[in-house]
A and B are shown apart, each in its own frame.
Chain A
Amino acid sequence: MSTTLQPARPTMKKPVDYYRIYVWELPVRLYHGINAVAMILLCVTGYLIGEPHRVFYAAEAYQLYWFGIVRFIHFVSAFIWTFNFAFRIYWGFVGNRYASWRNYFPITKQQRHDIWNVLTTDVLQFRVKNDEIDIGHNSLAAFTYFITFLFFLAQVVTGFALYSSMSTSALPSMFNWIVPIMGGEAVVRFWHHLFMWFFVVFMIVHIYLAFYHDYIEGRGTISSIVGGWKFHREDDDNK
C-alpha cells in the first residue's frame, strides 16, 4: 500500500513515506454532505423566519407564497437533517474506528493528552510542530463535535416542539410537552433562534480549521471528506 516517493533532488532531506488510509466511509461522507447542505438551508431559512425580508412585490396576497416557501424549505430540511443525524448516531456503532462513537468522548488518557496537544500546537500555537497528528478526528475536534451534537439535539427538540403546534403527525406530537416546560412557545422560539448562532459560529470555525489542517499538515484533510482517503506519514508516531 505504501508508495515511496523518490527524491527528485537527492541533495535534499531523506524521502518520506506516506500511507494511504481509507478514513471516511461513504455513509460518513454522505452524512457530512447532507448535513452541511441541510444546516445551511436551515440557518438561512431560519434567519428569514425570524427576520423576514420582503423580496417580491405583489398587489395581493393570493399572488404570492414566499414566506410559506421559506418555511416549507425549513421544515423539509429539518426532517432530512434530523433523520440524517439519527443515521449518523447509528453509524457510530457499526462504522469503522474513525466513525465510532468512542472518538467523541475524551475517555482515554491518550485522548486527553491529544486534546492538550492540539490546543497547544494548533489553536494557541505555543508549540510549533505537532508530531502526533491523528488519522481520524483529532480528539479536540471530536469533543467539539460532541458538544455540537448536544446542540443538534437541542435544536431538534425545540424545533419539533414548535412544529408540534402546526402538525398532528406522530413525530412532532412527541415533543409538545417541551413547550410548557420551557415556559411557552415564545421562549422555545427564543432559544431555537439563539441556537442558530451556535451553528453559524461552528461553521465558520469548522471550515477554517479544516483548511488550516490541510494547509499545515498537507495530508489531504479537505479532499478526505470527498474521497475518503487521508495520507499518513510513516515517520510520524503511528496511532
Chain B
Amino acid sequence: MGLTIWQSMQQKGYSRRDFIQFCTAAATVAGLEHSAVGQVVNAFEKKEKPAVIWMHFQECTCCSESFIRASHPVVLDVLLDVLSLNYTETLMAASGAQAEKSLQDTIKNNKGKYIVLVEGAVPTKDDGVYCMIGGKTAESILQEVSKDAAAIIAWGSCASNGCIQAAKPNPTGATPIHKLVDKPVINVPGCPPIADVMMAVVTHILALGQMPQLDNQGRPKEFYGRRVHDTCYRRAYYDAGLFVEAWDDENARKGYCLYKMGCRGPVTYNACSVVKWNEGTSYPIQSGHGCIGCSEEGFWDNGPFYRHLPKFPGFGIESTADTIGTLVGIATVAGVAAHAVVTNVRKKSVIADVHTEDMKES
C-alpha cells in the first residue's frame, strides 16, 4: 500500500505524457472543465491508490459487462490498473479462503479509505438465505464492508431500486442498498447503467475525492437530471404529434416518435439520448425500439412495455385505465338515463304539481 496513482503508473511503464493524457481524459469523463486538469494531476500525483471492493449480490453481472465496454479505453485500462480492485467475484484471480482473506485485509488496512461498489440487490426475507457468499448472507456482508467505507456506489437498478428481483411479488424481499446502510449511497441506476456514466462517477470520486452532486433519489444530477425524452432526437415528431402507430408502418420507417408504442422516455431519467451506448453508437430509440425505462424504480411492474400506460391491476393484461374509464362512463350515462325515466314515472304527481303552479301564473 501507499503508492500514489502516478507512482504506480510509473512502475507499470507509463510515461509522464501518458499520465497527463490520462488525467485530462479523467477530468473530461468526470465532467470537469479544462482548467481543472491541473487539479486532477495534482491529486493523482499525491493520492494513494484507492482500494476498491466490488460486491456482487442478486444481479446478472450486466453492470460489470457494461463497465468493461466504456468508450475511453485509456481511462478504463488505467482505472482498472490504478484501482486496487481487491475483491470482485467476477474478475479476481483468487478464490475461496484466499478471496475472503483479501476482502478482510482490504477492510482492515484501509479503514475509512476504501470505496465499495455494489452490484445487485440484497434479499432480506427469511433471514436473507436467498443470497449467501462464503456462508454469510448478503446483508451481513454488506453491513461489514460498508461500515468503514469512504464511499458507496450502487451499480445498476438492482442495487439502486431493486430491479427485477424486487418486481412483484418480490419473493426474496430484494432491497436496494440505500435502504440498508445508513451512509449516503450514490445510485447509478439502469439495467445496465451506461458504461461511460459508471466510469464518470468513479472518476469523479477519484479525481475530486468527493461525491458528485446528487438529486433527491441519490442519483448524480449530471447524468440523471434530464429525461431521455428531453434530449431525444425524435422529440420534434412528438411535439408535432407524429407518432408510430405500428412497428411495421410507414411512420416507423420515417422514424416518428415512439410514444404510442409505449416509449418510456418521458418518464425516465437517464443520459441515453446524450451519451448513448457502445462508444456513442446508438441507443434504443435510435435503433427503433421505445425506451423501457430501465433506470426507473419498478419499471418491471409498469408494463406492458408496448403500451403507453401500465395495465390496470386486477383486470388482466388487456385493460387500461381508459377501458375501465370508458366502461364506467357508459354505465354512468345508462344509470342517469334510467334515473330520468324512473323520475318521470315515480314523480308524476310532483311534476304535475309544479306544472299546475305554472298554470296559475299564466
Residues of chain A whose beta carbon lies under 8 Å from any beta carbon of chain B? 5-9, 12-13, 15-16, 47, 50-52, 54-56, 58, 61-68, 70, 123, 125, 128-129, 165, 176-177, 180, 183-187, 189-190, 193-194, 196-197, 200-201, 204-205, 208, 212, 215-218
Contact = CB atoms under 8 A, between A and B. Distances in A.
Interface majority SS (helix, strand, loop, mixed), chain A: helix
Contact of A194 (B308, B325, B361): B325
A217 B343 contact: no
Contact of B242 (A64, A128, A129, A193): A64
A108 B240 CA distance: 54
Interface stretch (B58-66, B86-94, B349-357): B349-357
Contacts of A5: 357, 360-361
Interface residue SS majority, chain B = helix
19 contacts: A12-B360, A52-B243, A55-B241, A58-B242, A61-B236, A66-B241, A67-B241, A184-B267, A184-B296, A185-B266, A185-B267, A186-B267, A187-B310, A196-B325, A201-B329, A201-B332, A208-B340, A212-B339, A218-B357
B238 interface: yes
Contacts of B144: none
A177 B296 contact: no
Nearest to B227: A165
Interface residues of B, number: 53
Contacts of B332: 201, 204-205
A70 B239 CA distance: 9
A230 B339 CA distance: 24
A176 B216 CA distance: 9
B241 A128 contact: no
A165 B296 CA distance: 14
Interface of B: 216-217, 227, 236-243, 245, 259-260, 264, 266-268, 293, 296-299, 302, 308-310, 321-322, 324-325, 328-329, 332-333, 336, 339-340, 342-343, 346-347, 349-351, 354, 356-362
B344 to A, nearest CB: 9
A160 to B, nearest CB: 15
Contacts of A54: 241-243, 245
B263 to A, nearest CB: 11
A237 to B, nearest CB: 16
A61 B244 CA distance: 13
A15 B243 contact: no
Instruction: Give the 9 A-B residue pairs with the shortest CB-CB distance, closest first.
Output: A197-B325, A66-B241, A67-B241, A185-B267, A64-B240, A218-B354, A61-B236, A68-B239, A61-B240
Contacts of B351: 215-216
A180 B325 contact: no
A205 B331 CA distance: 11
Given A128-B347, A184-B302, A204 B359 contact: no
B329 A208 contact: no
B329 A8 contact: no
B346 A193 contact: no
Contacts of A183: 297-298
A9 B346 contact: no
A186 B329 contact: no
Contacts of B342: 125
Contacts of B360: 5-9, 12, 15-16
Contacts of A128: 346-347, 349-350
Contacts of B322: 47, 50-51, 193
A189 B243 contact: no
B362 A8 contact: yes
Contacts of B238: 67
A65 B333 CA distance: 35
A62 to B, nearest CB: 7
B309 A184 contact: no
Contacts of A15: 360
Contacts of A51: 308, 322
A9 B260 contact: no
Contacts of B296: 184-186
Nearest to A126: B346
Given A13-B356, A205-B336, A52 B350 contact: no
